Structure 1
Amino acid sequence: MIWRVVLLCGGCLLLLLLLLGAEGRSREERTSTFQQAESRGQMRARPRRDTSSSSSASKPAHGLPFTSCRVPLTPVEHRVLDDNTHETGFNGDDGSHVVLTWVGDGTGVILVLSTINGPLDSYSHAGSSRLYRSTDYGKSFHDISHRINNTFIREEFGVSVGPGSSVILTADVPVLDNSGGIIFTSTDAGATFKFIQLPFHLVQPITYHFLNPDYLVGLSIDGSLWLSLDFGGEWAKVHDGVLSFTWGAGINLFFSCSRVDAVDADERGDLLLKRTNDLGKTFTTIHEDIYSFGYIGTFLFFSVMSDPRSPRVMYFSSDQGETFSRALLPSASTEQFYSLLDGDEDMLFLHVDNPGETYFGTMYTSDDRGILFFKSLERHLFDGHRKSDFTNITSLRGVYLTNRLDEDGRIRSVISFNRGGTWQQLKKPENVDCEEQTKNCNLHIHGEHSRKNRIVPMLALSEPTAIGLVIAHGTVGDSLSSAQRPDVFVSSDGGYNWRGTLRGPHHYTILDSGGLLVAVEVRREGQVKTIKFSTDEGQCWKSYNFTEQPFYFAGLASEPGTKAMSVSVWGFRPEADGQPMWVAVTIDFQSLITRQCNDQDYEEWLAHSTQGVGDRNGCVLGVKEIYRRLKKQSVCRNGRNFVVSKKKSPCLCTREDYLCDYGFYRHVNSSECVRQPSAANKTLEMCLSGEEDELLTSGYRKVPSDKCEGGYSPQVAAQTVIRTCGIKPSPGPPASSSAQVTHFDAPGERLVLILVCAGAGFIVLIAIVSAVFAVRRVVYRNRTPVYRFSNLQIQDDNNGITPDLESGTSSNSTVCQPDSDDDLLG
């Protein structure tokens, strides 16, 4: 996996929100799930004296005192670090903009590009870019500018790293140059480059296929979509009038385009959503009247706007657009937006904005079909910068962290350990005493809202290989405070318990799969020379002065994947002539922590061990997980070959493992799902395609990703028939007659539906071979759905059926792919 991070003006730029919706406040947004990679991959920086200062750094410290362990370096440790610390200077006379990029996994290769910071205003530049390369994790660099003919590489998206060891550099070429753009490609991590003249000018970075780096897609400034199957050697035009595109599963390529092959911003809401599954040979129109779309996990999602005055509605597909369904969600007016926060093959997190400038909305979680959405959290914060504090804690399954805006106007942090099923406030850190006048004392975590306002330099950080470890900025008290200087807190059990570890804001990163933490303090004066490190998950820290001459901090960089034990501190020193001298200092901690961990250094740890009692202790989403992880007191290195080891065992099912299906709810005095009394008399809207199916359900669905076995089984009082609409990809009117036979197979169950359509009428024949206890989506061995239920559409708020929005839990970690729709990025 390739991790890329951008640091601008000394801070990390978060991967951008994916917006889905109308102009201004009505755009729909999606937050990238890779927020945890804040200090990794690629970073950009420009010299500014206040680059590492936050707004809180100049304020007096009003934080509550806590004790943290400080251990001085021994003379031997100091000498070892001195011998393994390497400083490199880069002459800044050819530019004020520097990009650092890690290439490959375990290659030790870093590319540094220095460019001129200025607009293109002529056919050529007086200067040229400088390209430097390191093959030893940043200990030494060599100028390789000659390998790209000293060509000027553009600042905006000049460096792009793909799967394996592939790299693409994009030259800054005048648009008036009719010969097209220029790129340099490398398949050996920058050891060699190939010059390629493009037949078009790029408007955004070239997009790699997720698995095959030879498959490239580029979008030109005139809206033409281009495809290369040989890593940029040859290009073929795929389609005209394209606004956005994204890869799906396999070689499915989705894109939105104008009806007249010319994209105009005013045409949003009147676009076509198309798919090619044979690399541009043929095309299928999935839907018309598209405003925006994206792809996350295994879900294709898009918003539809039937006319400029109508609200937008959301549709989802889990079979690459073959069939799709309208989501059971409130529609979004021109003053609202949707925000797809996170998702994978099992479920989605989605925020629906409240009307007006409220800066909050409601968070929903979906079922495994992307049809039914259940209310997860009300008053979910979405600030005026269109930023969400929603964070996936990747170091422990099912844990998510976010902030809400309560009715008293205060921001408070909440955490979920069952993937959005329930939320609770964070516990007070064990080594922090609250002020006497504080009625409620909890830990509150700074998120993107605070980073955008320069209160903290970076967000909460966790890594899948560092089990249970979370490091974040926060304050302790009744609510999140901007007046109180943020401190750094650490959790070793996925967010159940916390402790204060560093006073004041810091940049931090995780090395050696959690065996080593490093941090650099944000200084008021902006200059740094000291790095702090911990081998016991932040309980004790040692400090080391890595340079004699301080410099202005620009970034803290380490190799993607947390396997390495080297870290680079980047910054610049102003020279007498006003030009910056860029500096990289690489500290190799492997020379200090030399002992390889053995079996005695590890212990077994039951995840979520405070969740439940007795046999239920540790049960989350129907599974117990026991991890083998490093003891805090063990000073050794996990090493590059470290692999997370865990033992899983299913839990007995309980009522908590089931949701109430559509048209059912849990009565306040009962744990059973009961039919809504008036639901049978409600009138449902007909879908645009005019097709209707019958949905049989006993009222229960298992929580997405829940793996419980045995135990509680829902009692089937009576089966219920609910009329639903199935939508197919054809945007045109339905045929005058058709027939379809659909089979549902499950252990001990079989249901056959035979649908015979004749004109506007429908005859539904249902043969039930055995009882069906829950409606289930069934797939062939290739995971292609045989049939997709679509959403029951509510006629209006007063007369529609209301699903159970309060019951249920949710599931596992996130595997998401970013959308490519530029106009959706904010």
Structure 2
Amino acid sequence: MVPRLILALLPALLLSAAAEDVGAPVPENKINSHLDISTPVKHDDPTHPANAVLQEPAKVAAVAEPSANESATGVAAGKKVSVTEISFDSLIDDLVWCGNNHTTVLLKTQSGRLYRSSDGGIQWTEITHLFQGSARNGSYKVDSVVVCETDKNVVVVIGDSKTHFISGNAGRSFVRLEFEGTINMWLFHPLKPSWALLSSWEGACFANENDEDCVHSIFVTRDMGRTFDRVARYVAQFSWGDITTNSEDRIYYSRYSIESGDQPKQDGWNNGISFMCTDDFGYSSSVIMEGGNKFLVSGNYVFVARVADPVRQTVNLYVSTDNAVTFNKAELPVELEERSYTILDTSEGAVIIHVGHEYEGGDIEVGNVYISDASGLRYSLSLPNNIRSASGECEFDKVYSLEGVYIANFRDDSGGMLNPRNKFKTHLDGTKTQIDQKRNRHVSHSKVEPNIRTVVSFNKGAEWHYLQPPKVNSEGKPYDCEEGKCFLHLHGITQYKNFAPFYSVEQATGLVLATGNVGDRLRFDPSQVNTFLSRDGGLTWTEAHKGAFIYEFGDYGGLIVMAQDQKKTKEVIFSWNEGATWFDFSLSKHDVSVNNVVIEPKCSSLNFILYGNRNGIGVAFHLDFSSLGQPLCKGIWSIDSSSSDYETWHPTDPHGNHCLLGRKMVYKRRKQASECFNGKEFRATVEREVCNCTPDDYECEIGFTRAIGSNTCKIDGTWLMREGCTSSSFFWADAYRKIPGDVCTAGWIPHQVAVPCPPHSPLSKGSKAVLSTIMVLAIIMMAIVYISHNDKLKHLFHNYGFKQFNYVAYTPVNAKKAAQRGAGFGGRFEPELGFIDAEQEQDEPTLLNYLSGNRAASNSQQQQATRGEQRQIELL
């Protein structure tokens, strides 16, 4: 499936100071394709009708053969996968599932035409003609398609002009919306399919002859688009409330305070914008926070970015847990300017945020990841220098089938793999360039690659570990890398145009797919990038196949389908035993540039859609693996027995601890060696058992951090100070706090640690007395020296028998010894080099034994929206 733009389970928030367009739609959680946006060209091949509107499906039976990486044995040998190919008028731009049975697919091409399939992608019908009669210029073009999450039968088609349509039967028929204007964004109500908010640029925004002001307005419909009411004008951002707090009918929005003239483009943080809400659809409204530019409503939390300094373009994050009645400023552990935020996760009773502290030129952008306590207000540092894109997508992803497991990329500024506990850089190596629409497959090799490494956490970011590499590659050969610098590094979302990012789905327990390399850091040369798979949530990995592939899960993880996306191909490879063996088959006689492999939202089917382009023409393949004739798995009620195809499995962290977040999770899943299909009726189950507490159930308190591979919290920096602290004293502090959502009981209890007061602390009374005495003595000595050198006063010393001090010479203590020691060095002292103390050696990351591993792909745009939890909001 295509890589996701952001975390799929949590709607993510980017509160950014450099965005492009006010009210622009939130990027989907999953990129809908790796599209090559080139101009369609005519094709001389008679089998490739480039000018045809829609080609009749060509159905073939592809014989599955063992992959080049596998032996010639296996039950799949000689069996056939049903392949149906169809070409479209232009490149495929978007593909979404709708309808309650997940068999209806809508496909939009770059030319603005819309196609519909009611059988999962086998047969396609163009339905653009349903809209043609209402087009002002006679040629209707579809701009986007929005599917309601609470009722998949409700679909909105947004046109490229001022005519739009809605369907209540998954696209079989449409009714024109009674709204005469452009639609910038359409937002369905969280519970009511007939309710929606939309935003529109009005007035002179598109017509110079219009005398009205160009403004961005929001409207509400409560009758499936038959009527619309204006809610507010001069709007920067808007959202429905949240069902968690029973405020789903409330409308939140941010608005310019001055409501006259053309609405300015929001190209930075602006203290003339306020955060507001209305409970009666705009008849009355309330200002919640002046200067509140951007916000996110997620569960019990309301986050608002409030302008701190419009000149320096800094903001502060405010958090509410009482339905926006009261707000408190988030407390971060460092005194750094805050310029942007991405809310990464709000599940399990805590908030994980990515904070951008600076904007500078460079190849990548980074920011620090912080995790909150249960209040959502006090944040401790989790991971420094987390990689992010200029538009806010962070390489920080959840393993969606497990609780508390995350994979992330960071720029390691420690200068070496064996000393990871370094001071986090406070600046960002940022880039302001926009991501090209055309996928760039060329990587510059003239510059030094950034020191990017991949880490995994099994306790919600409280502790991080480097990924342990496979012992051998897919060819059975050991990896050639230096001991102590040999780890697995994976590509994340910022490189989605070049390589598929690490990917998991909720339905495939413990499975993760990724592209990357084994070595001391992440490599960007395509020849060094391979595809990896983990079966245990990222603890251990295997190299699934040489080369970079795009991938997808089916049959609840029982079937993995992959295709080359770095070069043209005519082959697809698949595995139905979680990567133990792979088989390949031919798609067609002609090569295709693969953009994506997708499946229906539940990942339960045996039918996939692979789409891409051939010489500028969009082409799609329906792949039906049910034709292989594999039996349904058996033994669901006799799990773990020799006759059952199922087993129990529990995740483990790098310390060998079976308890994650205070509980042992026991999952039911298919045995790897069982070559059978789960079937659509399969449901994974999980049993939970509460554990005793260990250090892994605690995260660091504010002012403390953990080194990579360590569970010991040590003080970070010298800013931590208590009231009454003096420079010569210390105080007791809590270095640990229980991870929010962790349910462990009894067991390990952390003790307070002694923290020395920082050097800049006030002096104690005793220190002040000593310092005062020294100062008095120094003044007296200076006076004596002055008098002894003064011709009018030096006679006073003769009266008391003193020698004249100006004729006295002093020899430094041990001067002779020092001179002898310095002989031969030209008077210079050269310190010893290369000294590594024991403390540094203890910081070396723990090396873990490799068992086995795997990795996964991504889903369709609509699929990831349903899974996603990372809601991104850009400052435009």
TM-score by length of 2: 0.66
Mapped partners of 2:713, 2:14: distance in 1: 38
Structure index of larger Rg = 2
Does the aligned pair in 1 maintain the 2:275–2:290 contact within 8 Å?
A: yes
Which amino acid letter does the alignment assign opposite residue 253 of structure 1? Answer: I
Shift of 1:327: 0.4
Task: Give 5+ residue unaligned stretches, structure 1.
Answer: 51-65, 117-128, 174-180, 575-579, 684-696, 718-813
Tell me which residue corresponds to 2:124: 141
- Provide closer, same or farther for how the CA distance between residues 679 and 501 of structure 1 changes in structure 2, counting only shifts above 3 A: same
1:390 equivalent among 392, 396, 421: 396
Tell me which residue corresponds to 2:304: 302
Mapped partners of 2:712, 2:107: distance in 1: 63
Mapped partners of 2:166, 2:76: distance in 1: 47
Shift of 1:608: 2.6
- Provide closer, same or farther for how the CA distance between residues 410 and 582 of structure 1 changes in structure 2, counting only shifts above 3 A: closer
- Provide closer, same or farther for how the CA distance between residues 67 and 624 of structure 1 changes in structure 2, counting only shifts above 3 A: farther
C-alpha deviations, 1:639-665, integer Å up to 9, x for none? 222212011011123455356767999
Mapped partners of 2:301, 2:676: distance in 1: 42
Select between 140-149 and 234-243 the one with higher mean Cα deviation: 140-149
Mapped partners of 1:637, 1:669: distance in 2: 41
Tell me which residue corresponds to 1:157: 144
Mapped partners of 1:481, 1:660: distance in 2: 32
Q: Does 1:329 align with 2:332?
A: yes
C-alpha deviations, 1:139-185, integer Å up to 9, x for none? 11123333334655545435555432211111222xxxxxxx22111
Select between 547-556 and 514-523 the one with higher mean Cα deviation: 547-556
Q: Does 1:583 align with 2:627?
A: no
- Provide closer, same or farther for how the CA distance between residues 384 and 216 of structure 1 changes in structure 2, counting only shifts above 3 A: closer
2:259 equivalent among 258, 261, 270: 261
Tell me which residue corresponds to 1:624: 664
- Provide closer, same or farther for how the CA distance between residues 503 and 44 of structure 1 changes in structure 2, counting only shifts above 3 A: closer
Shift of 1:450: 2.9
C-alpha deviations, 1:193-247, integer Å up to 9, x for none? 1112304322x23111233221110011021110011221211111111111122
- Pairwise CA RMSD: 3.9
Tell me which residue corresponds to 2:595: 554
Tell me which residue corresponds to 2:468: 427
Does the aligned pair in 1 maintain the 2:342–2:392 contact within 8 Å?
A: no
Mapped partners of 1:669, 1:566: distance in 2: 44
Tell me which residue corresponds to 1:219: 199
Shift of 1:319: 2.4
- Provide closer, same or farther for how the CA distance between residues 216 and 356 of structure 1 changes in structure 2, counting only shifts above 3 A: closer
1:532 equivalent among 560, 568, 573: 573
Mapped partners of 1:74, 1:659: distance in 2: 48
Secondary structure (helix, strand or coil) at the match of 2:495 reads helix
Mapped partners of 1:464, 1:669: distance in 2: 28
TM-score by length of 1: 0.70
- Provide closer, same or farther for how the CA distance between residues 47 and 194 of structure 1 changes in structure 2, counting only shifts above 3 A: same
Which amino acid letter does the alignment assign opposite residue 619 of structure 2? Answer: V
Q: Does 1:473 align with 2:461?
A: no
Which amino acid letter does the alignment assign opposite residue 373 of structure 1? Answer: Y
Shift of 1:295: 2.6
| 1:275-314 pair list within 5 angstroms | 275-309=277-311, 311-314=314-317
Secondary structure (helix, strand or coil) at the match of 2:582 reads strand
- Provide closer, same or farther for how the CA distance between residues 594 and 234 of structure 1 changes in structure 2, counting only shifts above 3 A: farther
- Provide closer, same or farther for how the CA distance between residues 428 and 283 of structure 1 changes in structure 2, counting only shifts above 3 A: same
Mapped partners of 1:625, 1:669: distance in 2: 21
- Provide closer, same or farther for how the CA distance between residues 153 and 112 of structure 1 changes in structure 2, counting only shifts above 3 A: farther
Tell me which residue corresponds to 1:653: 693
- Provide closer, same or farther for how the CA distance between residues 416 and 234 of structure 1 changes in structure 2, counting only shifts above 3 A: same
Tell me which residue corresponds to 1:504: 547
Over the matched positions of the two proteins, sequence identity in percent amounts to: 27
Shift of 1:553: 2.8
Does the aligned pair in 1 maintain the 2:156–2:165 contact within 8 Å?
A: yes
Tell me which residue corresponds to 1:235: 228
| 1:42-53 pair list within 5 angstroms | 46-47=37-38
Which amino acid letter does the alignment assign opposite residue 127 of structure 2? Answer: I
Does the aligned pair in 2 maintain the 1:18–1:30 contact within 8 Å?
A: no
Shift of 1:307: 4.6
Mapped partners of 1:438, 1:218: distance in 2: 57
Mapped partners of 1:583, 1:589: distance in 2: 19
Mapped partners of 1:45, 1:678: distance in 2: 55
Shift of 1:309: 3.1
- Provide closer, same or farther for how the CA distance between residues 211 and 661 of structure 1 changes in structure 2, counting only shifts above 3 A: same
- Provide closer, same or farther for how the CA distance between residues 360 and 661 of structure 1 changes in structure 2, counting only shifts above 3 A: closer
Tell me which residue corresponds to 1:592: 628
Does the aligned pair in 2 maintain the 1:199–1:235 contact within 8 Å?
A: no
Tell me which residue corresponds to 2:355: 352
Secondary structure (helix, strand or coil) at the match of 2:547 reads coil
Task: Give 5+ residue unaligned stretches, structure 2.
Answer: 42-66, 202-214, 243-247, 416-449, 636-642, 727-732, 754-865
Mapped partners of 2:573, 2:411: distance in 1: 34
1:245 equivalent among 238, 259, 268: 238
Mapped partners of 1:493, 1:75: distance in 2: 25
Shift of 1:618: 0.9
Q: Does 1:108 align with 2:121?
A: no
Does the aligned pair in 2 maintain the 1:38–1:459 contact within 8 Å?
A: no
Tell me which residue corresponds to 2:181: 200
Q: Does 1:447 align with 2:488?
A: no
Tell me which residue corresponds to 1:461: 503
Mapped partners of 1:286, 1:14: distance in 2: 29
1:342 equivalent among 336, 341, 345: 345
Mapped partners of 1:14, 1:714: distance in 2: 35
Which amino acid letter does the alignment assign opposite residue 189 of structure 2? Answer: H
- Provide closer, same or farther for how the CA distance between residues 469 and 237 of structure 1 changes in structure 2, counting only shifts above 3 A: same
Secondary structure (helix, strand or coil) at the match of 1:206 reads strand
Which amino acid letter does the alignment assign opposite residue 466 of structure 1? Answer: A
Secondary structure (helix, strand or coil) at the match of 2:528 reads coil
- Provide closer, same or farther for how the CA distance between residues 631 and 224 of structure 1 changes in structure 2, counting only shifts above 3 A: same
Tell me which residue corresponds to 1:791: none
Mapped partners of 1:478, 1:611: distance in 2: 19
Secondary structure (helix, strand or coil) at the match of 1:69 reads coil
Which amino acid letter does the alignment assign opposite residue 70 of structure 2? Answer: C
1:702 equivalent among 721, 731, 738: 738
C-alpha deviations, 1:299-336, integer Å up to 9, x for none? 21111114523631111112221222100026897784
Which amino acid letter does the alignment assign opposite residue 520 of structure 2? Answer: D
Mapped partners of 2:531, 2:700: distance in 1: 41
Secondary structure (helix, strand or coil) at the match of 1:261 reads coil
Greater RCO (Cα-Cα under 8 Å, separation 6 or more) = 2
Mapped partners of 2:220, 2:874: distance in 1: 18
C-alpha deviations, 1:487-508, integer Å up to 9, x for none? 0000000000000011111111
Tell me which residue corresponds to 1:785: none
Q: Does 1:362 align with 2:368?
A: yes
Mapped partners of 1:346, 1:209: distance in 2: 25
Aligned pairs, number? 644
